Amino acid sequence: MTTSEKETAAATPGQVGKAAPPAGPHHGSGGPAKESWWKSDANENARRNLGLVGVLVALVVIGIATRPDLYSDPTWVKNNIFTILQQASAIGVVTVGMTFVIIGGGIDLSVGAIMALAGVWATTVATQSFGAGGMIFTALAVGLGVGLVNGVLISYGRLVPFIATLAMMVAARGLAAEISDKQTQVSTSSVINGIATQRILGIPLLVIILALVVAAGWVLLNRTTFGRRTVAVGGNSEAARLAGINVKWHTLLLYGLSGLCCGIAAIMLMAQANSAQAAMANLYELDAIAAAIIGGTLLSGGRGTIMGALFGVLVFSTITNLFAINGLSTESQNMIKGAIIVAAVLIQEFRFKSVSQLFTRNKGATA
């Protein structure tokens, strides 16, 4: 068996060693009964995504019912759609990285803190006259670097992902506060600040960046060896190791990818706020995890989609927008998000009974 064949087998551990299922009931034609498109396992992701589209439609209907004065204005509706997409842009980029980590059998609680550290460090560079290029390079380098440190702690330091990234969350926030002297760091770069207002063919640049990251994430997960190995490592790390995958190295790369996404998102968030501070991107880790879960990513690893995660982000952004136009508090939003997370985890637990893996060390990562 070739390495590629081994990886494919490892990526689908549930099918390895199983006998072919018995033929279904036969009809008069003598052939097996065909499973309907809607009920087939192959289209589970499509069913879930259509369900999330239904949720988005329901939220729009609620918005129309509660604020008909706003939704009766076509210009306001168009601008509000772009507002929702722009609000979803930074957290959407973070969620792409988070989805890879979770599919690979891990969790990253430090994404918001990494964004804060990258943003504060980048604005500090700008004040030293390194310009927009220096800010962008610094944000990406800090994000990637901290992500790789997470990967080293988990893969080679043999720490549980939950504990390692929780510790990094505290450390990164503390370092960001130290660097900024607990003060808001104002971005003086017109190039960076312009990212939030620039449009290309009428589409906000932030939305275009999100679309590019989502497209790249989809290709990486679905059309490359890296994606197949991610599914294999998250589904059964020991089988992945036996198939020839360097699980430690791959886990390291997953956390590096998550950190890089945080660096990109930090630039986007800085552009929207024209500043950075140690408290920025607060609770982004929970939003990213929630969006990934709602989109069908299995918390114990081995299953998930980038498009599902994107729909999850859009659902939460639409809820936030709906609360805002109706004057409801942030606390109410957090209560709703918390309830959604609990419901999604309970559904996964009943279906797969494997959420407890979150709090155990990935065996393959230390093999």
Provide the residue ranges of all domains of the chain, joining segments of one domain with +: 92-281
pLDDT digits (tens, 9 = 90+) for 314-354: 999 999 899 899 888 877 877 887 887 788 777 766 666 54
Integer Cα distance of 27 and 268 in angstroms: 58
Q: 3-class SS at 275? A: strand
pLDDT computed for residue 20 by the predictor: 42
Whether residue 272 contacts residue 196, with contact meaning beta carbons closer than 8 Å, is answered with yes
- The Cα–Cα gap between 36 and 158 comes to 45
Q: Which pLDDT score is estimated for 343?
A: 80
Per-residue pLDDT of the chain (367 residues; tens, 9 = 90+): 555 555 555 555 443 333 444 444 444 444 455 555 555 555 777 778 888 889 899 999 999 999 999 999 999 999 999 999 999 999 999 999 999 999 999 999 999 999 999 999 999 877 676 788 889 999 999 999 999 999 999 999 999 999 999 999 999 999 999 999 889 888 878 889 899 999 999 999 999 999 999 999 999 999 999 999 999 999 999 999 999 999 999 999 999 999 999 999 999 999 999 999 999 999 899 999 999 999 989 988 999 999 999 999 999 999 989 989 988 887 787 788 788 778 877 776 666 654 455 455 554 454 4
Picking from 158, 356, 152, the residue whose alpha carbon sits closest to that of residue 254 is 152
**Predicted local confidence at residue 303, as pLDDT:** 92
CA distance 58 to 81: 15
CA pair distance 299, 234, nearest whole angstrom: 10
Instruction: Supply the pLDDT for residue 156.
Output: 94
pLDDT at 351 (0 to 100): 63
Dist. CA 89–CA 271, nearest whole Å: 12
Closest C-alpha to 120, from 192, 167, 178: 178
Which pLDDT score is estimated for 82?
Answer: 94
What's the confidence (pLDDT) of residue 108? 97
d(CA 171, CA 154): 16
CB 55 within 8 Å of CB 315: yes
Give the Cα separation of 250 and 362 in Å (integer): 12
